[in-house]
Amino acid sequence: MPLLTRWYIKSALAYLVAALLLAILLALPNELNLPSFIRFMNPAYFHLFLVGWVTQMIFGVIHWMFPIITRTRPRGNEQLGWVSFTLLNVGLLLRVVGEPLTSTQPETWYGWLLAVSALLQWLAAVIFVVLAWPRVKDRYRGE
């Protein structure tokens, strides 16, 4: 299993645990007087689950199991794969931080965290598609 795939899958599992823990916190009754920012983390929960767990698991399995491009570079540009992984995770973490900050303090500049987060995640997905696209072909040509 390639190193990048292992990182995608380990990160996905870590985000699954984080999403489930956050789901438990969000399900607790209001009478417990949890910090106010916890109540505003519902969008962050969905991002942890869908981008952190589901998307990263899919990206990791695609990186590992899609057909190879050539014997010398079976998965394409490895450095670009790491760029995609990094952008996706930095964007996700910015989202997790930015959501409650923007909700609790809407008059500040924190909204830009969400815009930067979305841009980083979008770039990560585009880069991943660019890397995966050549691997979807009719058959291996022996190159």
Contact residues for 130 (Cβ-Cβ < 8 A; gap 6+): 80
Indicate left, alpha or beta for 33 from its phi (over 0: left) and psi (-120 to 50: alpha): left
CB count within 10 Å of CB 91 equals 23
> Model-level pTM?
0.86
Domain ranges of the chain: 3-135
Segments of the chain assigned E as strands: none
Question: Which residue positions in the chain have pLDDT lower than 70?
Answer: 138-143
pLDDT on residue 140: 53
pLDDT on residue 94: 94
